[in-house]
Amino acid sequence: MSRMLPIELRGREPSLRSFSERRVSMGQALLPLAFPTMQHLRERLEEVALRAAGVEGLQPTTLARWLVARRSFFAFLKEQDCEHRFVGGDYRVQAVLIEDWIAWLRGRSTSRSTIATYWRSLAAQLARVEREDGALNPFSLLDAPKPGSVLPRSLTRAQAEALLSLVRNEQVGSSLERARNLCLVGLLLLAGLRRTEALRLEVADCDVEQRTLVVRRGKGRDGGAPRTSYMTAQLADICAYYLEARQRARPVRTHAFLLTSTAGDYPMSATRIKRLFRRWSAALAFRVSPHALRHTYALLLRQAGIPDRVSMDLLGHRSLAMLQRYSHVFDDEHRDAAAQVHLDLSVPFGGQGPRDAGHRR
C-alpha cells in the first residue's frame, strides 16, 4: 500500500498503530472504510445505532451521546470542507482528520472529559461497522484522548442534609408530591441509584420490610446486570411514608412504577426531575443534580469505612477504577487527617530542648 498522502496532508501523517495488527479473525485484511457520499455514512451509523439499541439493549442516554458525537464530527467535516476526504477510504487521511477534529474541539474550549466522551462514542459506532462490514475503524489506529482527572461533583454532608430538609418541608401541591420528591432524593442520595434506575424502579422492587431495592435494568449492555441495593433505616422510613401516600392518592395509581406523576395515573418523567433539581439548586444557592447525589452516596460509603469491593457492588460498578473516580476528598478531611499526626514531645514549646542546652549563646 502506498504511503503517499494527498498534497494537503503531506507532513501531517499521524503516528499509527501497526496496521498489520488490524485483521479479522479469518486472517483477511480489513476493507477500507469508504462510502459513496457523506450521506451514506450518516445512514450507516444511524442503522448501527438502531441495531445496537435493539440487539444490545443500549440505554437511550448512550444513544443520545452517540448522536451528539456524530453531529459534532459531521459539523467539523463540513466546516473544514473535507467530508469527501473522510469517506474516500484512505485510513491515513481519516486518522489525520480525526486528530484535526480533536484539535478543533479544543479550539472551541470543549472540556477534556467531553472530548473523550465524543471520541469513545464515535469510536464505538465505527467499531460496530468494522464488526458487521469488515471495514477498518480508523479510531482503532490512534490513541484515545485522556479525559483528565476532574473529580465528580459531590455534596458535603451539610449540603446533603440541607437538601433533605428543604425537600421534606417544601410547600408543594400535595402531601403525595412532597413524599414522592423526598423518596426520589432518598433513592439517589441514600441508595446511590442513577436517575434512570430510580425512574424504572417498580413498586414490587421496593421491599421496605427487608430494606431492599432490586435494580433490574441498570447501566450497560442488555440493560445491565440486576443488583440488589440495600436501604438505610432512614431510606426505609422515607419509602414507607411515600408508599402510604401513594396508596391513599386519588386517582388510584395502577401503573407498576414506584415514582409516580401527581397529575395522573402515569410514571414520573425525566423532565420533571430536571425541573425539580433546578428549583432546589436555586433555593439552596448551590448546584445539585441527580448524579451528584449518587457521587455523595459513594462518598458517604467511603467515609463510613465501607470496603471498596462492597461499595462497587452497591453502586453497580463493574470495576474498582470507576469507583476510585468517586473518591472525592474535601478540605475538612485533609485538615482532620493532618491533625491525627502526633509525636510525643517531652520538652514543651518555649522550654529548653536538647539543642538549646548544648548550644547556648
pLDDT for 249:
84
Query: Strand, coil or helix: what is 223?
Result: helix
Q: Are residues 129 and 196 in the same domain?
A: no
Give CA–CA dist 328/341, Å, rounded: 21
Q: Would you place residue 216 in the very low, low, confident or very high pLDDT band (cuts 50, 70, 90)?
A: confident
Long-range contacts at 103-107 (CB < 8 A, ≥ 24 apart)? 104/76, 104/79, 104/80, 105/72, 105/76
pTM as predicted: 0.61
Work out how many domains the chain is built from and give that number. Answer: 2
Is the torsion defined by CA of 298, 303, 309, 313 positive or negative?
A: negative
Residue after which a domain boundary falls, among 114, 141, 168: 141
Q: Would you place residue 313 in the very low, low, confident or very high pLDDT band (cuts 50, 70, 90)?
A: confident
Alpha-carbon distance values, 158 to 256, 294, 296 (Å): 35, 16, 11
State the residue range of the domain holding 302.
157-336
Q: Are residues 188 and 87 in the same domain?
A: no
Q: Are residues 137 and 236 in the same domain?
A: no
Residue for grid cell 446533603: 160
Query: Strand, coil or helix: what is 228?
Result: strand
Inside any domain, residue 272: yes
Residue for grid cell 464515535: 122
Q: Are residues 181 and 122 in the same domain?
A: no
How many Cα atoms occupy the beta-carbon half-sphere of 225 within 13 Å?
8
pLDDT for 43:
96
Q: Are residues 219 and 94 in the same domain?
A: no
Inside any domain, residue 168: yes
Inside any domain, residue 150: no
Q: Under a CB-based contact definition with an 8 Å cutoff, are residues 133 and 52 in contact?
A: no
Give CA–CA dist 157/125, Å, rounded: 40
pLDDT for 7:
40
Q: Are residues 106 and 181 in the same domain?
A: no
Helices (runs of H) and strands (runs of E) counted in the chain: 15, 3
Q: In this structure, what CATH number is given to the domain that contains residue 331?
A: 1.10.443.10
Inside any domain, residue 273: yes
Q: Would you place residue 339 in the very low, low, confident or very high pLDDT band (cuts 50, 70, 90)?
A: low
- The mean per-residue pLDDT over the stretch 48-63 comes to 88
pLDDT for 222:
47
CA-based nearest residue to 49, from 76, 21, 68:
68
Residue after which a domain boundary falls, among 111, 141, 171: 141
Q: In this structure, what CATH number is given to the domain that contains residue 132?
A: 1.10.150
Give CA–CA dist 269/341, Å, rounded: 50
CA 157 to chain centre: 22
Q: Are residues 135 and 162 in the same domain?
A: no
Q: Under a CB-based contact definition with an 8 Å cutoff, are residues 217 and 197 in contact?
A: yes
Q: Are residues 219 and 112 in the same domain?
A: no
Q: Which three cell numbers stand for residue 101?
A: 477534529
Inside any domain, residue 350: no
* Alpha-helix runs per DSSP H in the chain: 38-55, 60-79, 83-86, 91-107, 112-133, 157-169, 175-189, 195-200, 233-248, 270-284, 290-303, 308-315, 320-324, 331-339, 354-358
Give CA–CA dist 51/96, Å, rounded: 29
42 pLDDT above the threshold of 50: yes
Centre a 10 Å sphere on the Cβ of residue 148 and count the other Cβ atoms it contains: 10
Q: Are residues 122 and 66 in the same domain?
A: yes
More confident residue, 243 or 336: 243
DSSP single-letter state for residue 1: -
Q: Are residues 318 and 218 in the same domain?
A: yes
Inside any domain, residue 356: no
Residue for grid cell 478531611: 333
Inside any domain, residue 275: yes
pLDDT for 57:
82
Residue for grid cell 501523517: 13
Please state which of the ranges 125-134, 151-160, 200-209, 302-311 shows the lowest mean pLDDT. 302-311
Inside any domain, residue 130: yes
> What's the longest Cα–Cα distance across the chain?
91
Give tens-digit pLDDT for 235-263. Answer: 999 999 999 999 988 778 889 999 999 98
pLDDT for 23:
43
The mean pLDDT of the chain is 82
Q: Are residues 128 and 165 in the same domain?
A: no
Q: Are residues 124 and 165 in the same domain?
A: no
